[in-house]
Structure 1
């Protein structure tokens, strides 16, 4: 009984670890059921910063969830909705500014995934508006950045402070490098978190194994003692 319990604990932890690993790709995105489809929306590059090129990242799947498979060594959507760019339109809104129409484009070798590139120039909350008719179903959905969805655009801080003698190209280069460093740091933190979970799972598995082995040795010793007394 104890052995079965220990094995069950290990299996549950491994499943939990797998769920964490498979949900990393959807981090800071909003998932929403839209009729018979599932929409997953966020920024292409996260965290998003003002005055750095970015865009809409849109995934459309059939059914209540997006499922994935491996194709040519790459993880792709198995229940993808393709050619949606021919039926749907997209625009982005920020504050009281006029909405900006986005050119919805399919992403190469990523069925079901679409992009709409633009340059966010102001920090704050952004709204993506997706509308049209998809296979006879009317689509009219707005997705706004929030703590439970995708994050707001942030204002990057330049350091050292720029002066009139510094060219615009140099400023852009410095900002781009800061963006890359920030994104790399975020990716590193996520990776370390995953490694920690895996190590924890292995530790629990070893502890369960040791506990089971100790119980078995104790039982064998007890049976041996009883045999000698008999």
Structure 2
């Protein structure tokens, strides 16, 4: 699954596009004020798009979802024919593109800088170490040659093409390392137990003090009683 949001200044145009993995799969995006607004969904099948031709308003978001069982698809703008040469990688986009990494379940996100590979111009990386398993989204946005780009990719758990992040315990050897969450949970539980013990200790001390006070009062009363008896005699 991947998507793009049209810039609001794109209007009264017709944009052809095709599947870069299968040039026979083509479609068009007509943009005008009379088109549909919001999220427009397109299904990708083995040899076709449904619908292949769509009519949208400026600012609409188009979402392509792969329902094909025969491999990957890559939607690319323009018309590809047998006489057209392959597109070349674009260098120098580190300053105009950003990537947002999103952990879906926690809704945590971070902005990553894209670093161009000096040995492979046009190839960009942004190293990170995921600390929580689950579904992730990668949003790439910015401009390429002045054209606004806003593409979102999601891992398989959300219907996308790349792997989810899984816990590392399955490949840890010889000992399984305790996760940060488990450590935090253990510390929290120990803190709660110690606080409960302190409350109980304080309560016990209070009862001891009360007992001592009551005992002292009893002794004083007894002494007064004896004194009164001696006086009466």
Regarding TM over 0.5, the answer is no
TM-score range, shorter chain: 0.3 to 0.5
Greater Rg by CA: 2
| Structure (1 or 2) with the greater strand fraction | 2
TM-score (norm 2): 0.37
